[in-house]
Structure formats: C-alpha cells, structure tokens
Amino acid sequence: MLRDRRHSKQETSNEGHRRSVAFRRRENEGRMDRLITARAIRTADGIVGDSILVKRGVVAAVGARSDLASPALPEHRYEDAVIVPGLRDAHLHPVAYTALLTGVSLKSAASFPDLAARLAAAAAGSSPGEPIVAMRLDDETLAERRLPQASDLDAWIGDRPALVHRYCGHIAVASSAALALAGVTSSTADPPGGLIDRGEDGAPTGVLRETAIDLVSAAIRGRVRVDPARVSAAMRGLAGLGITSIGAMVRCGEGAWASLGNEALIVAEAGADIPIRIGAYVTADDLGQLGEAVAALEEAGPNTTWRGVKRFGDGSLGGHTAAMNEPFADRQDARGLLRLSDLDAEMARAALAAGRQVAIHAIGDRACSAVVDLFETLVSAGVAGNHLRLEHASVMTRPDVARLAATGAIASVQPPFLTSETSWLEKRLGADRLPLTYAFRSLEEAGVTIAGGSDCPVESPDPWAGMAAARDRAGIVPAESLSAERALALYTTGGATALGEAEPLAAGSPADFVVVDRDPVLASPAELRATVVIDTYVGGEAVEVDTSRSVWVG
C-alpha cells in the first residue's frame, strides 16, 4: 500500500530525487580520505585506539596512529581530546523542539502572574487574532500548584485563541476563544482516549487531556506553522551537542503539538539541509495520511529516512493520565487512560509489512503490560523483536520486564525525566512502585536493549546530561543506576540499534563520531554534565555549528 502510494506521486518523487542527487554531489565533493587522531578513542567497550581512518565518509579502520598513518594521508589531530561514537537521541520531537526555540516557553514560570506576563508579551508581539501556542507549562512548580483554566487565560490575553501545553505534551489548556473556534461546548462528548475537564455546571474549564487536545489543535492548525529552515538550524544545533542521529517523532494528524502543522511534511521539506541523520517515526490518523508522509520523507534527502510508526498506549505520570494497575498515590480516583485501539494495530501491520518498526508510547505499568502483550502476539506471528520499541517503559512490573526481554523488543528510555520529577515522583506513585520506575539496570540485566533519549522538548536534548542522569538518577533509587560504560552505550550502541543503524565506529559504518574535551567514562556525573563538544563528524565531515544560537530554552 505505502509503496504504491509513494510511486504514484511522480512530481514529488522527481523533485525529491533532484534534491537528493544535489546533496550527494555536494557531500562527495567535500569528502576526502583522512586520519583523525586524538588522545584516545573511547567506546562503551573500552579504549580502542587513538585514530580513525576515514575513507569516503565511512570508517575504514580504528586503531593506533602508528599502524594507520601514512605520508600521503591528510591528518587532523586533536592533541588532548577524546573521540567517542556519534551520540543518538532515540526519541526527540524536532518540530516541537524548533517551536520551543522560536516560541513561548513557560517551564521556568513561577506563578500565575509570571504566566500572565509571558503570555501577554507573546500576544503583544504577534498579529491581532493570531493564536498563541505556548509550551512547557509545569503546574508542579507554580506557586498556585494548579493548572490555569480558560478563565485565567481570558483574563491575561483577552479574546485571543490560545493553547498552552503542559510540558509533558499530554495536557493542554485552551482559552475560551480557542474552545469556541473548535466548537467545544458543554454538549461536546469526551473523545475516545481523552477527557475534557468540566466545572460543576458541565461547562469545559479549558483543561484538555490526551486526545481531547486534538479538538482544539485541529482548529488552530494552519494558523501556526514552523518554518522548515528553522528546523534545519535546530538540528544543526543538536550536532553541537554531539548528536549525530535522532529518532524523530513526527505527527501528521491530530494530537499534542499538532497545532504546529504537519510535522512529517515540515521535516521532509527541511530534508536535504538537515546535517544529522533523521529516522522518522510517524503518527498518522489513517493509512492514506501515513502514505503521504512516507512518500515525502523518503524523498527528502540521504540523511532522512522513514523508520516506522509511533502510537500511544497511555498518557503521562505528571498529568495523571498514564495507565496504572492501581490508582495514583496522590489521586485515588485516577488510574489513567489506556489508549490502544484497532487503528494502532492497523498502523503497526502497515509498518511491519514494509520492514519498518513500531514504537509505542507506554508509561504506566498497565499500559506497559498491554504493549508487551501486543509484542508477544507479534513475535509469535514471526515479527523480529528489534522491529518493536517500547517508548519510555517508565513504570513496569518484574514479570513484564522479563516478558519484554523475551520478545527481543527495544526499550527507549529517557533518563532526564528523573531530574524533572524528583519533587513529585514518589508522591505520585508511592513507595511500592518507585523501585521499578525508570528501571534501567533491571531492564539491561534482564537482557533488554535500552536506548537513551530526551523526549525533547519535554526535556533538554543534552545527551551528556542524559548520561549523567542514567548514572546518578538524581538520587532516586540508586540501585537502578547504570555504570559509566553502560550510560555511554545507552546513547551510542543502544541508540544505533534502536534506530536500525550499523554498529558505531565499526569498519564500514558511517564515520559519525564526536570529539570532546574529556573521557565520559572517567568523568564523574557532574563533570559529564560540563562536557565540551569540540567537533561533531557526520559522514566523515565536521558539521558547522552556529554557537551563537541557543540549543535549549528551559
């Protein structure tokens, strides 16, 4: 189905082919054989030499300079630096991240007056009537300790349509004008997999949970769009952090941040100008929409590929929408929302039939168990385990950890969650569930391949901070910490496996590597967070990074 649809779009295909050929021509003209030398080449398995021989953009050999150097071979020396494999962020939202860099961030807001000032400034700086979309609202750090409602937004910005996303992306608050634009009233039913918070009179309060966000984002979509050129610039900034590949979570339909436009097509349009490798996981509302996204992504340029589909099993811990076996410790009336449906199975079959992956978001233990059930069914039908990804795997039971390992599926985990949730995680889950929350060591010891990521813009995309969090866990359940070597593997070999890439720094692999000022295995977590990236190489060429641009807005 997907192949037929892709080849029916001849005009799009021809244009994509021209762009791809032009990109390869520029890339090959700049490539040259060379030897890259540093104090040491460090992988998760140890020191493997001090030099990398690069030929036509791939690794020809890794070893000692004395064995690899020759008089006619150009050499670039980094005298007191260490080279590590290129870092992979297995789960990142590139369009939403770009919107954060260029839009309104609320994470550091301390109170309602602070929120009011930021939103009023955004309204004053935009055209009259233009919707305001803000991100990273965190009610846990506000003085009021609650989400604002539509009435609050109305008081702050008047009759302007506004949609304010909680930082987890699973809850949003709409202004009255935005609710009216979407036709959301007292008589609007809760959509499947979502909730509209209501007052005592039954009227919507403005707080929308999970798929209920779609109702308003669909009405705003088209009025707010992220510039593809800015996506390219944001991805270049990620290279400055040492990131050479990402698992790009992109929507082409409804859902969190969907008001920003068709993310799959935006990334495809940025395509040939993106300097790092993009493995796209598409969330679509139907097979036709998925086919359109696949066609665009596969013609976008040599660094951009369609890797699979992404689906949702539940919501978030912070928003009390993660599907739990038992109620939340701080809300006995809530067990979250289990969101798996027949559409998820249909999308999974389409991706697997095309030889791609299925990535399913699951945070609560009930959702994780349901996804493992599905994976067991797929594996028993002949699906390879490495085509299955459990995204987040936040709270699990020990039997489900063992079952996940038996399927051969990959767990895509986000250590930075720990640093953001320290003040409320135990309050939300209770002491009994905490030991198997973000259980990195238990997953690895059970034999599960784990890959690290940030879920950016939920968290900072800084992979060094992510490695550090995997090691020190912000003090939460230290028994589940990873060793320094395994933390490095999380973002190198684990990430490469999750993204279907070749073994990093192996002979014949793309020459993707990072030059840094310290050995990440010998560095303490605090020192690791201060790592300085000297150069990032993708395909044997150093990526030019504009250091004047910010790569994170808190």
Q: Is 528 exposed, middle or buried (0-12, 13-18, 19+ CB in 10 A)?
A: buried
Q: Tokens 């097979």 sit at which residue?
A: 287
Q: Are strands 51-55 and 46-47 parallel, antiparallel or unpaired?
A: unpaired
Report if residue 192 sits inside a domain: yes
Report if residue 184 sits inside a domain: yes
Q: Is 55 exposed, middle or buried (0-12, 13-18, 19+ CB in 10 A)?
A: middle
**Residue 213's domain spans which residues?**
94-220
Instruction: Look at residue 515 and give its three-state secondary structure.
Output: strand
- Cα–Cα dist 179/150, whole Å: 9
- The neighbour count for residue 230, using CB atoms within 10 Å, is 16
Q: Measuring CA to CA, how many Å separate 237 from each of 253, 325, 553?
A: 27, 40, 13
Report if residue 228 sits inside a domain: no
- Cα–Cα dist 391/359, whole Å: 6
Instruction: Look at residue 513 and give its three-state secondary structure.
Output: strand
Fill in the DSSP letter of residue 368. H
Report if residue 530 sits inside a domain: no
Report if residue 178 sits inside a domain: yes
Fill in the DSSP letter of residue 328. B
Report if residue 112 sits inside a domain: yes
Report if residue 101 sits inside a domain: yes
CB 44 within 8 A of CB 86: no
Report if residue 37 sits inside a domain: no
Q: Tokens 């990526």 sit at which residue?
A: 543
From 406, 418, 421, select the one nearest 452 (Cα to Cα): 418
- Cα–Cα dist 214/184, whole Å: 11
Number of domains observed in the structure of the chain: 1
Q: Are strands 34-37 and 277-283 parallel, antiparallel or unpaired?
A: unpaired
Answering whether pTM is above 0.85, one says: yes
Tens digit of each residue's pLDDT, the chain (554 residues):
464 333 333 343 344 444 444 444 444 444 689 999 999 999 999 999 999 999 999 999 999 999 999 999 999 999 999 999 999 999 999 999 998 887 888 989 999 999 999 999 989 988 888 888 898 899 998 999 999 999 999 999 999 999 999 988 889 999 999 999 999 999 999 999 899 999 999 999 999 998 899 899 888 865 567 889 999 999 999 999 999 999 999 998 665 555 677 899 999 999 889 999 999 999 999 999 999 999 999 999 899 999 999 999 999 999 899 999 999 999 999 999 999 999 999 999 999 999 999 999 999 999 999 999 999 999 999 999 999 999 999 999 999 999 999 999 999 999 999 999 999 999 999 999 999 999 999 999 999 999 999 999 999 999 999 999 999 999 999 999 999 999 999 999 999 999 999 999 999 999 999 999 999 999 999 999 999 999 999 999 999 988 777 888 77
- Cα–Cα dist 234/456, whole Å: 12
End-to-end CA distance of the chain: 42
Instruction: Look at residue 357 and give its three-state secondary structure.
Output: strand
Domain holding 193: CATH number?
3.10.310.70
